[in-house]
Amino acid sequence: MCGIVGIVAKSYVNQTIFDALTVLQHRGQDAAGMVTCESDRFFMRKDNGLVNEVFRTRHMKRLGGNMGIGHVRYPTAGSSSSAEAQPFYVNSPYGIALAHNGNLTNADEVAETMFRADLRHINTTSDSEVLLNVFAHELQQQGKLKPEPSDIFTAVERVHGRVKGGYAVVAVITGYGILAFRDPNGIRPLVYGKRTLANGQEEFMVASESVALDVCGFELVRDIEPGEAIFISMEGEVFTQQCVKDSRLTPCLFEYVYLARPDSIIDEVSVHKARMRMGVKLAEKVLRERPDHNIDVVIPIPDTSRTSALEMAYHLDVKFREGFIKNRYVGRTFIMPGQAQRKKSVRRKLNPIEMEFKDKVVMLVDDSVVRGTTSQQIVQMARDMGAKKVYFASAAPAVRYPNVYGIDMPSATELIAHNRNDEEIAQEIGCDWMLYQDLDDLKESVLAGNPEIQDFDTCVFDGKYVAGDIDQSYLDRLEQKRNDSAKAEKDGQQTKSNESSDLHSRID
């Protein structure tokens, strides 16, 4: 889960990229980066931290140029090293910088092939660097001093033939323009838009979510199709081409549940409306299972679940109340690197209002339950505030399997729903009743916004991987890589490495 943006404009783009990345900050709080291009020169700044921490005035002054790309990152494989902050850069051919959102499931094999056959060295463990070098190699194979859009699209087509997984990519080619493309299944989101200046000239932006376009004054044109590439030249010419023969639209269902901002539109579906429908479906399930329910109040766990909770309360004809006050300066807990840090963060993140809980039967609503760390502590807070009973509803089905397409879900054994039924989960988090959304109801909530969606990536709920690229041996390797102890060991090694050497791939 990362955020990407690329812009071709008639004036400096550094501030617009900064604004877009700030809007996409929810997609990654680990690192941020930007590359701009002026004439035949790149200017880069990237480092660990939030957008407004990474980019200071002195950095912005150096980021000249009318086109560029930006990225906000959270560590897909658990690493928080600044050496893996994006974008990445190669000087041949032409000079290319690239950033991406997602995960290549065959990155290790591709990196090995690139070393032996293409003679290209990968300096980090980031699959973004792998993706960049694959594209650079395929573009160089075209053998052109000045590439045409058709050459660029041919290179993208060959990239799709070599890599597997879920990915949305943005790249800048020195002196030529901005390229963006999406994986053949459309798992990770990507949109593009334009804005017209007073003199009639047009500027263009590609981004992970439409909200970035909105805030920067761009009009949403459409989503990039699965397998499609778009190239925008420095002069503002737009070229698009489908680069995959057999593409299908199967976006990540978890984007609509949790990842995306509610004011975004992804694959023509309003995230806000989808979450409203999720709340209606939850209410209907309550009435099916417990028509004589005794719920006094519905309380959301801020912020992502608020929309669903409000609709749930309305259709149950019970009160909706804000029972938790959120500290907005604490990050999203399920993507924090260690269990100890997550536990500390939950209590700093939320503070309950006693009067909304005391002597009431409370239905707590969250967007999803992953590790259960947050849920367990929140249920205890409700009891400490005097709730008579505490019910817990999830707007998503039980998360039982790891994600391999760009969301750093923990290893399967660290998921609270792994090998547990609903009653056992309720006992584990300490609530009196655990209510999960049905997968079919969740799909219907999104499909109502765009019936043209062919299917979804639902791997975290049912273990079905839409790209057809995952076997048990891969999941076993992932288990070893993603558990908290492995992450802690890796981060410790990287910290020592960073302290002994300042070989970070960044330019201040």
Catalytic residue among 2, 243, 431, 459: 2
Dist CA 229 CA 475 (whole Å) = 30
State the residue for tokens 């290790």: 108
DSSP 115: I
Q: Answer yes or no: is 359 a known binding residue.
A: no
Where do the DSSP E strands lie in 129-218?
Answer: 165-173, 177-182, 191-196, 202-207
Query: What DSSP element (H or E) covers 53?
Result: helix 51-54
Tell which residue, 195, 163, 194, 203, has the closest CA to residue 181: 163
DSSP 435-495: EE--HHHHHHHHHTT-TT----B-HHHH---TTS---HHHHHHHHHHHSHHHHHHHHHHHH
* Cα–Cα separations (whole angstroms), residue 355 to 50, 297, 380, 389: 35, 12, 16, 15
Is 37 an annotated catalytic residue? no
Residue type, 476: D
Dist CA 127 CA 129 (whole Å) = 5
How far is CA 94 from its chain centroid?
30
Q: Answer yes or no: is 366 a known binding residue.
A: yes
Dist CA 69 CA 13 (whole Å) = 9
Q: Is 300 helix (H, G, I), strand (E, B) or coil?
A: strand
Surface-to-core class of residue 291, CB atoms within 10 Å of its CB (0-12 exposed, 13-18 middle, 19+ buried): exposed
Dist CA 154 CA 139 (whole Å) = 8
358 and 338 in contact (C-beta within 8 Å)?
no
**98 phi and psi angles, rounded to 5 deg:** -145, 145
H-only helix segments in 194-244: 210-215
Q: Which are the catalytic amino acids?
A: 2
Binding site residue list: 304, 366-367
Binding-site positions for Mg(2+):
304, 366-367
